[in-house]
Structure 1
Amino acid sequence: MQTTTDLQNAFPYEKDIPESIKLSEPLHQKRILINGEFINWTGPVHTVYSQIFVKKDGQEAAPLEIGSYPLATEKEAEMALKAALQSHDYGRGEWPSMGAEGRIKAMQGFTKGLKEHREEIVKLIVWEIAKSVADAEKEFDRTIEYIEETIKTVKQIHNESSMFKVTNGFIGQMKKLPYGVVLCMGPFNYPLNETFTMLIPALINGNSVLFKPPKYGTLLFNPLLDLFKEHFPKGVVNTVYGRGRDIVPYLLQSGQVDVLALIGSSRVADSLKKMHPKSNRLHAVLGLDAKNAAVVLPDADLEATIKEVIIGTLSFNGQRCTALKILFVHADIVDKFNTMLAAAIDKLSLGMPWDKGVSITPLAEPEKPGYLKECIDDAIAKGAKIINAADGGGNLGHSLMKPAMLYPVNRDMKIYWEEQFGPVIPVVAFDDPMAPVDYITESRFGMQASIFSEDPQKISFYIDQMIGQLGRININAQSQRGPDTFPFNGRKDSAENTLSVSEALSAFSVDSVIVTKQTPSNEALLHEILVSESSKRLNNKVIF
């Protein structure tokens, strides 16, 4: 059993932190990139503390100060917006006019530079959000793969769109063009990868970007500011720092932001969209909340199911939008399932991100432990128990929490409806086949679900009953985002638009058609434009 004292003792003395992961000194970021130039910041800053508590001789363990970043104001936000508008220049600016080949070369140069900062960025991910070293490395590497796959797809789309279509007496060419100015805000849990799944397609399509880093996971972008400055024209990438409530309303209320790209909460997305005075103009690309359910049927292979459920519920402490956040287990097997899952949880290693084989690390958000305790206390007050309490389930030491299994959970509990985004696993017993279906139908979220069964008829029943409410159904597998070539979306309050490689490129671009009647004179006219290469937009160049 892991007691509160055991969990507190898992935190290191400063002298015992491995040299390979130590930050040489706090990173006090004093630069803001606007219009291709750095503004040296001398104003107020936000001090960044890691939720990896550190013990120093003779002192209690405390969050470690790892740096700071500017708390910029509406003034800097206005400067960034003007720079983005000027660089785009109604689609006539250098970057949108450059064409796919030029933008690909710029992105390739950026990616080469990004690879050189792998070690530094991985360290900052570890310290800023307490992600394990292995997972931080995986996030970085997956981001590189995403960029490279995006570049490959851009070439393919460009080459296909370079062809002309002749139909019904018309000749036309259809290509994708940028929207204009994109406000990009990523999440803390995958601060590099998820942010770049919006930022990269927005940029490579020719948009200008206002980039606001997440509240937790800001410092890791400091090494990239030089790369943004070096590889993209002035005003194409502008960083926006400060408290969201102080600067984001100004940007949206200006009516000059064309795309809101946000991975975060539906509550925030709703309020931001309403700030824009031209609702028909604002294009939204949103990845939001989720309450992904697993449905475990009596014939499921429980050994294989437990392996998937453990990963699905507790990877990165359950701090993933794609995590399994509620388990519907058939009453015939729920006791056996609970016993097996509790045993599997107890085998997980809790500790620091650099500990070998660690599964559960400190929670990234300072307020999260208190919220999770509220959820647990509410469930217990309404009839649930912590199934793995004997193993320390629910115990908390500073920011490190032993995962808690709650059972039986019912609809009157907070944990039944709310997205916990942490290591608390609610289990609901059911015998009515429609119970999980009704839950998914009633839920305001609609991202994913997982079905565990060996019966084709039962699987087919749940697919057909639930698919109209969800973006993805997983069969005998955890909920997850990848592969990145698969559409990643959601219904209801879980998403707007689709994020994956090809779909994201479409989400950050708008169709453009140039057409003329098929007559000899018009054919000769098009031929002359193509041969002379007098138009940047109307051309049939192929990228190899």
Structure 2
Amino acid sequence: MTLTYDDLLATITDPGGREILDPATGDLVGRAPFRSVETLDEAITRAKAAQPAWAGRTDDQRKEMLLAAADAIDAAAEPLAELLSREQGKPLNGPNARFEVGACTNWLRATAETDLPDLTLIDDGETHAELHYRPLGVVGAIGPWNWPMMITVWQIAPALRMGNTTVVKPSEYTPLSVLALAHVLNTALPQDVLTVVAGDGELGARLAGHPDIAKLMFTGSTRTGQAIIKSSADTVKRLTLELGGNDAGIVLPDVDPKAIAQDLFWGAFINTGQTCAALKRLYVHTDVYDDVCSALTDVTSAMPMGRGLDENNVLGPLQNKAQYDIVSRLVDAARDSGARILTGGDPDSEGPGYFYPATLVADIDSDNPLVVEEQFGPALPIIRVESIDEAVELANALDVGLGSSVWSADADAARAVAARIQAGTVWINSHGGVHPMIPFGGVKMSGYGLEFGVEGLKSVSAPQVING
């Protein structure tokens, strides 16, 4: 039987729950069952009780169940994408809702097929030592509202793969998407191996401090990450923190502006700019500055924005009013400072929804708030630089370092610049692309710990050396 959108929504909503509204229209999407701290504690207790049996399954059995869970998502892909579009706002097409649901299955399959074998460290006839990776127990996950389904899978797939059970607290802005995802996944998983408990921020604080949560994975703001570190201290909890980005891009003078304009656009405006590792400040060498601005303006002004369920749109609204206000404030401040608005910057205040047009801001000072604060929306400042040394200095000047990019016709020159940038990932002639086998994580105030691939499996495991 095919799962319909209405069927999916009916399984996760609560008539007395919190109203969740469509950020494009203001219409009711559904009512989320917001739970108490006591309910969360009960879920952790059940997850702890279920963990030994889950860990006791063979590695091949856990792989098979993750692959079955991926198949279940594929079978429910369209209703999941529709719910995601309605709740988060992102369009169905482009690198958006259908793309995100597809990424969930890709990550599940890649994680299931990644091995972390035991390692013989030394065996010289006198000493024999082996390194093994054991389950931690119960892994907690706190996800964001920008990519709620995909990032939840990033968190839970490796944890489940390594024999942990998981308890997820989704963002209060997008709980329905994660509840629906878990409902589908749980058709292929044993009971209490994966539990989602929706609620307010107090649930996140409880996860961070709960003594039975062995590891916490968090994606979100640096400020919340700092609070999690403090809350986790008493239990010496392991953490993976993927925090704020404000990623820099550097354009060298040898580029063909028209050739890179489309990739620059998507680097900055994927998910309407609501991505931690999106391009958020662009430093362009003066020799190509005007041409880059012109080419990027042509691409940006042609991209359709509107309600996500319209198949023609590739940009949607900001997910919530608070984020809309941040973007509006920063663009207005840039305009007031004398910066030049190339396109956008003029939202329609009369229409419904949190739509802010894709905005390019040129001739802006490097210390302008739009540059130094993470706007997390569809507004890109373009800063003129006189030299590559100046660009590198400005890129490294902030206290964040999630991702960055270098744009050049000369790959060797680009790599030489990349090596000087303080960021967890530096892309060459692209920005923000991730792969399930390539480790991903930040430096400085952008957090610590690695996700994806073998390193991601290690991060949700306890290394044990057997010596003798």
CA offset at residue 48 of structure 1? 0.6
Selected match of 2:22 from 21, 45, 50: 50
CA offset at residue 30 of structure 1? 5.8
Q: Which amino acid aligns with 1:50?
A: D
The separation in 1 between residues aligned to 2:287 and 2:185, in whole angstroms, is: 57
The separation in 2 between residues aligned to 1:345 and 1:198, in whole angstroms, is: 33
**1:9 maps to what in 2?**
none
**1:71 maps to what in 2?**
34
**1:146 maps to what in 2?**
107
CA offset at residue 115 of structure 1? 2.4
Selected match of 2:198 from 241, 266, 278: 241
CA offset at residue 440 of structure 1? 2.5
CA offset at residue 369 of structure 1? 1.9
Map 1:173-322 onto structure 2 (within 5 A): 173-227=130-184, 229-244=186-201, 246-278=202-234, 281-322=236-277
Q: Which amino acid aligns with 1:122?
A: A
The separation in 2 between residues aligned to 1:460 and 1:79, in whole angstroms, is: 50
Selected match of 1:471 from 424, 427, 450: 424
Q: Which amino acid aligns with 1:140?
A: V
Q: Secondary structure at the match of 1:271?
A: helix
Q: Which amino acid aligns with 1:111?
A: A
Map 1:325-344 onto structure 2 (within 5 A): 325-344=280-299
CA separation of 1:101/1:515 partners in 2, compared to 1, >3 Å: closer, same or farther?
Answer: farther
Matched, 1:87 2:87: no
CA offset at residue 230 of structure 1? 4.8
* Between 260-269 and 495-504, the greater mean CA deviation after superposition: 495-504
CA contact (8 A) 1:29 1:222 kept: no
Selected match of 2:390 from 435, 443, 451: 435
For the pair shown, the structure with the greater C-alpha radius of gyration is 1
Offset from partner CA, 1:369-411 (integer Å, 9 cap, x none)? 22111001111222212122xxx54323442222111122224
Offset from partner CA, 1:507-530 (integer Å, 9 cap, x none)? 1112223332xxxxxxxxxxxxxx
The separation in 1 between residues aligned to 2:10 and 2:394, in whole angstroms, is: 47
CA separation of 1:143/1:224 partners in 2, compared to 1, >3 Å: closer, same or farther?
Answer: closer
Q: Secondary structure at the match of 2:391?
A: helix
**1:498 maps to what in 2?**
450
CA offset at residue 298 of structure 1? 2.1
CA separation of 1:424/1:30 partners in 2, compared to 1, >3 Å: closer, same or farther?
Answer: closer
Matched, 1:345 2:300: yes
Offset from partner CA, 1:463-484 (integer Å, 9 cap, x none)? 2322xx1112222x22123222
CA separation of 1:23/1:251 partners in 2, compared to 1, >3 Å: closer, same or farther?
Answer: closer
CA contact (8 A) 2:8 2:79 kept: no
The separation in 2 between residues aligned to 1:26 and 1:169, in whole angstroms, is: 60
CA contact (8 A) 1:182 1:259 kept: yes
* Between 230-239 and 254-263, the greater mean CA deviation after superposition: 230-239
The separation in 2 between residues aligned to 1:87 and 1:23, in whole angstroms, is: 31
The separation in 1 between residues aligned to 2:444 and 2:199, in whole angstroms, is: 30
Q: Which amino acid aligns with 1:94?
A: A
CA contact (8 A) 1:394 1:403 kept: no
List alignment gaps of at least 5 residues for structure 2.
none
* Between 127-136 and 348-357, the greater mean CA deviation after superposition: 348-357
Q: Secondary structure at the match of 1:481?
A: coil
Q: Which amino acid aligns with 1:265?
A: S
CA separation of 1:405/1:30 partners in 2, compared to 1, >3 Å: closer, same or farther?
Answer: closer
CA contact (8 A) 2:86 2:309 kept: no
**1:108 maps to what in 2?**
67
Offset from partner CA, 1:223-261 (integer Å, 9 cap, x none)? 4444555544443222222102x2222333333321110
Count residues in correspondence.
Answer: 460
CA offset at residue 168 of structure 1? 4.6
Q: CA RMSD in A?
A: 2.5
Q: Secondary structure at the match of 2:27?
A: strand
Q: What's the TM-score, normalizing by structure 2?
A: 0.91
CA separation of 1:340/1:223 partners in 2, compared to 1, >3 Å: closer, same or farther?
Answer: closer
CA separation of 1:167/1:129 partners in 2, compared to 1, >3 Å: closer, same or farther?
Answer: same
CA separation of 1:224/1:345 partners in 2, compared to 1, >3 Å: closer, same or farther?
Answer: closer
Offset from partner CA, 1:257-305 (integer Å, 9 cap, x none)? 21110111111111012012436x3111122211111111222111112
**1:527 maps to what in 2?**
none
CA offset at residue 332 of structure 1? 2.6
Selected match of 1:462 from 391, 394, 417: 417
Q: Which amino acid aligns with 2:427?
A: N
CA offset at residue 416 of structure 1? 1.2
Q: What's the TM-score, normalizing by structure 1?
A: 0.79
CA separation of 1:488/1:187 partners in 2, compared to 1, >3 Å: closer, same or farther?
Answer: same
**1:510 maps to what in 2?**
462
CA contact (8 A) 1:28 1:68 kept: no
CA offset at residue 451 of structure 1? 1.4
